[in-house]
Structure 1
Amino acid sequence: MSEGSSEVAIHDDGEHSALSPALVERMADYARAARASSTWRAYDSDLRHFATWCAEHSPALSAVPAAPATVAGYLTALADNGYKPATIRRRMAAISVAHQLGRHLNPTTSVEVATVWDGIRRTHGVAPARKHALETGLLTRVLEAVDGDRLTDVRDRALLLVGFAGCLRRSELVALDVADIAETADGLVLAIRGSKTDQERAGTLVGLAYGSYRPTCPVRSWIAWREAAGLVEGPAFRAVNRHGGVSAGRLDPGSVARIVQRRVAAAGLSPADFAGHSLRSGFATAAARAGVTDRSIMRQGRWRSPTSLDSYVRAGRLFDRDNPSGKVGL
């Protein structure tokens, strides 16, 4: 990883000269695999931004290695120019990784940088602006507007329902292959090959039961899409052109957000309030409201801890039977 770039490189400490170039390159391949390619791209963009800021601020400033005062000044400039704390945190992570890979002293761990970061968080807050959850009632309303028989309608109905019932992340939904979806007497069994919380790709199975109502049944919607598109193998969810032709390639994660926003808009909702993640948060909210235990929700959504799940289910339990505001005699 050189200044202004997060491209992974194996640091040459003199010992690597005894290794073959092919082995060193494979070492770099595995180092790259330690993080998702999207993460490396984000780090690359962030580090270039930092390097540009250093060059424009003063020719004497170095991005890698950087002094703690330089990083603290950069964070201050970001905060004063309206960057969100989440973006600033990611920029810090990129700078940290660049220094670790280059075997430089890490300025982000200094007291100076940590103190400035604490001040930014206290001043600007760290809570992200959340999109609305597409819980069952809203999803049903959206599906009622997806009432056509065009191939895109059949696909979108299946994508929304499988994504919702499986409590899937966008990346997990578009990564599904036809072979990953087994049709059983009880419903669908999804093989999730890898995810945000399964970087080692151990894999897990997720069950989708038959719905009580045919229009909102994830199992029937998937079968309808598979049959209409003539899917036998390859990606489960694909692009459909204006002539009804089905692409051989899979949708990208951003397509899920666009489909959700297009469909909520058709149902008379504000598309700006929803995103691809609204399916996952909607399922967790609806399940919590229905009295499903945290353990069961965590298993379906593959959350590792109740803390991670809490922000999803809190809204669904605001008015459960233990709400004290209904028990004080008002």
Structure 2
Amino acid sequence: MPPPGLHSLILYDNFEWKTAQKSHENLQTICVLTKIPAVSLEEFETKFYGILKENYQRKLDFRNLAEIDNLKLCIISDVLAGKSIGKSYKDMLETFGADNIDMSDLKKQLVLRRVSNSLKTVVEQGNLFTKELSIDFQQNFICVDDIHFSASYSAEWDVDYEEMPLKYAMMILKNTKLQLNRLHIVSSSSTDPVFIDFLKNLSHKISTKELYLNVDCPETTHLFLTCMKPEFLDILTLKTGNIDEIVKLDYFLDFPVFSIKLSNLTEEHLMNLREGLSKSQKFKDCYISTENPIRLELIENVFSLSSGPEFSEGPRQAFLKEITENARNRNSDDIVQTLMTALSSAKAASTMKAYGQENEQRRRWILERGLPLNEVSTVMYLAWKSESVGSGSLAKISAAYKMVNNEVSIPGAQCVAELINSKKRAEATTRKQPVCINEPVIVKIMSTLEDAKSEIDVLLVHLSYSALLRASEASNLQWKDVRVKNGLLEVFVAEAKNDQLGKGRTTFVQCKAGSDLDLLLKRWKVRCSLKNPDFIFHNLHNQKPLSPSSISSIVKAKFDAIGVQGSHHALRRGRANDLQAEGFSLDEIQRTGRWRSPAGMSTYLRDNPRAQGIRVEEMESEEEEEGPPSLTREAPVPL
């Protein structure tokens, strides 16, 4: 017989996005601590999916949840997870609703948190409530300090003085549910090899909001950084480290505050730092300290502080510098700020970011070779890049250069144009036909439905195909932007690549009741109803929208799973060609796909009889000819 409160626990675990297996593991832990009879995985899964199905049907029928009469297991689960009473109460309120919470008298049941002494002891032994941890390795001395425990161990007291503090520290860090506010690690001598081996073999990432590292060598710093959970880290302070290696870490872009101390700061260090931080969407502050004074002109040269946020060069840089100096002399810094903001927002944010990265790479290449930062060096850089990139990349480099220089000489412009045209001719001999993902592929992807995760991935593919969405448009799509009316799904695209001013366009998609797209949307809407996110395709942990790159990766993974080569954009291309094959006019396809001009749309469409004026009736009435007609000799007619 299932324990009382299992129904509530399953709904609560589902609210926290736990799978059936994870929910069963949670129940097993609770059963051990509270002496409740265990439930087998098979029996639990049957119960788990049955309850979710019942809950789903209730939502479709606009009925409330069944009455919740026991929240004991939910409360114990929250205690094990280290939740505060306030957080626990809020989550249960969101999961079960105010009426059910009042009916079950949750406030009385929360007393469990105070009277369950044995459970509290187990939790404390697991160090779930440790929020700050400090480990100090010194010569013949180790100190470990946290909220519950503080001790120093010296070689003067015991030959094996390292063993006890390290075991304690490793016991804390081994806890997969640990969430620290601050982790402070200092090592003026060689860090203990046992601790190093522990970090190398750690099976999970350590969660800490702030990390302070002052260890003996850059390699050890790098090891510590690879053990951190990037999405949890907010502040990183390093006293040693190789900045060139640190910026290469995948999660270097994920924390907003970065601080480092270097023995010497070079222009190359700053260039690496600038390139890494320019890719981050979270970065706010960077603090650098050195043993030697930092030259102001070095920072101004790399970060272009005297000419605004972009890499201004040549006459443009001199012009902006003059404006800045005049404003400072007349206490008009606000005017300069207004101008710089206008310059940085004149183009789309993604365009400014891409151009900034191209200019950064160009400047780095020129400076590394000791060349002057001018037009001639830029043409040399373009010639060098043409050996490894296509004509589109060369055109982007040229556009980025023009953005910060404003003018190019006639000979320079001719050289750039001829480099790009030469590359286009070479590409014409090897260019492959772009991939189109057509409706049969969508049907095949529908067969991969297995669980909640696969449902949202399939919905992403289906909706992107049906509404001809770009990855950036799918990323920004909100629930308020879609609605079904009279068998039509209205998809409002608020802002697109070719709609930078955000006027918005609406695409209409056939979505009859009971169709695949209709069911996928409704099921995902029900699953999201507990947390009520704004965005349709969102991160399950923080409800923020998935990035366009994440959207593209998910779609590509679905294609790979069924053995199809293609990208997210192949869905848009394939749908446009399918519409043409179904007899839609070019004007109708252009409006459906939200293209601004027929020229932009034409690159997506393959040759098709309908596009060349051949009517459907003519195509169906004429039989396909297999070759020229053959002549046969007739027998002579007798006289």
Per the shorter chain, which TM-score range? 0.7 to 0.9
Aligned partner of 1:20 in structure 2 is 332
SS in 2 for 1:238: coil
Q: SS where residue 603 of structure 2 aligns? A: helix
The answer to whether the 8 Å contact 1:180/1:190 transfers is yes
| Amino acid in the other structure paired with 1:237 | F
Q: Does 1:62 align with 2:354?
A: no
Match of 2:379 in 1: 72
- Matched-pair contact (CA < 8 Å) for 2:464–2:572: yes
SS in 2 for 1:22: helix
Confirm whether residue 91 of structure 1 aligns to residue 397 of structure 2: yes
Q: 1:248 aligns with which of 539, 543, 546?
A: 543
Q: How does 1:2-151 map to 2 (within 5 A)?
A: 7-8=309-310, 11-14=320-323, 17=327, 20-57=332-369, 59=370, 61-63=371-373, 66-67=374-375, 69-80=376-387, 82-100=388-406, 105-107=407-409, 110-125=413-428, 132-145=435-448, 147-148=449-450, 150-151=451-452
Instruction: Name 1:280's counterpart in structure 2.
Output: 572
> Aligned pair in 2 of structure 1 residues 329, 260: CA closer, same or farther (>3 Å)?
same
Query: Residues 84, 116 of structure 1: CA spacing in aligned structure 2 closer, same or farther, 3 A cutoff?
Result: closer
2:573 touches 2:604 (CA, 8 Å); kept in 1? yes
Rounded Cα–Cα distance in structure 1 between residues aligned with 2:552 and 2:349: 20
| Letter matched to residue 87 of structure 1 | S
Q: How far 1:275 moved relative to its partner? A: 1.0
Q: Is the 8 A contact 2:379 2:416 kept in 1?
A: yes
Displacement, 1:261?
1.7
**Matched residue type, 2:561:** A
3-state SS, counterpart of residue 480 of structure 2: helix
The aligned residue for residue 243 of structure 1 is none
Greater Cα radius of gyration, structure 1 or 2:
2
SS of aligned partner of 1:118: helix
Say which is worse superposed, 176-185 or 1-10, in terms of deviation: 1-10
Amino acid at match of 1:7: P
Could you tell me which residue of structure 1 aligns to residue 164 of structure 2? Answer: none
Q: What is the CA deviation profile of residues 265-311 of structure 1, one whole-angstrom value per residue up to 9, with x for unaligned ones?
A: 222x14xx211112211211111111111111111111122221122
Using the alignment, how far apart are the partners of 1:94 and 1:128 within structure 2? 25
Q: CA separation in 2, counterparts of 1:73 and 1:301?
A: 40
Contact 2:494/2:504 (8 A) holds in 1: yes
**Secondary structure of 1:76's aligned partner:** helix
Give the 3 Å change call, closer, same or farther, for CA 315–152 of structure 1 in structure 2.
Answer: farther
Is 1:189 matched with 2:483? no
* Change over 3 Å in CA distance of 1:72–1:285 after alignment to 2: same
* Alignment CA distance shift 1:213-1:139 (3 Å): farther
Give the CA deviation at 1:183: 2.9
1:309 — aligned with what? Answer: 601
Greater CA deviation, 24-33 or 8-17?
8-17
Q: What is the distance in 2 between the residues matched to 1:132 and 1:49?
A: 31
What is the Cα deviation at residue 38 of structure 1? 2.2
Q: Higher RCO, 1 or 2 (CA under 8 Å, sep at least 6)? A: 1
How many matched pairs? 308
Alpha carbon RMSD of aligned pairs, Å? 3.3
Q: Structure 1 residues 131 and 112 mapped into 2: Cα distance closer, same or farther (>3 Å)?
A: closer
- Does the residue aligned with 1:196 lie in a helix, a strand or coil? coil
Report the secondary structure of 2:543's partner residue. strand
Q: Among the aligned pairs, what percent are the same residue?
A: 19
Structure 1's 316 and 200: CA in aligned 2 closer, same or farther, altered over 3 A? same
Structure 1 runs not aligned, ≥5 long:
241-245
Question: Closer, same or farther in 2 for the Cα pair 1:200/1:153, shift >3 Å?
Answer: same
- Cα shift at 1:320: 8.3
SS at match of 2:436: coil
In 2, the alpha carbon distance for the partners of 1:195 and 1:3 equals: 33
> Aligned to 2:552, which of 223, 238, 257?
257
* CA drift at 1:211: 4.8
Structure 1 counterpart of 2:182:
none
Does the 8 A contact of 1:134 with 1:282 survive in 2?
yes
User: What amino acid does structure 2 have at the position aligned with 1:113?
Assistant: V
| TM value normalised by structure 1 | 0.81
Q: Is the 8 A contact 1:257 1:276 kept in 2?
A: yes
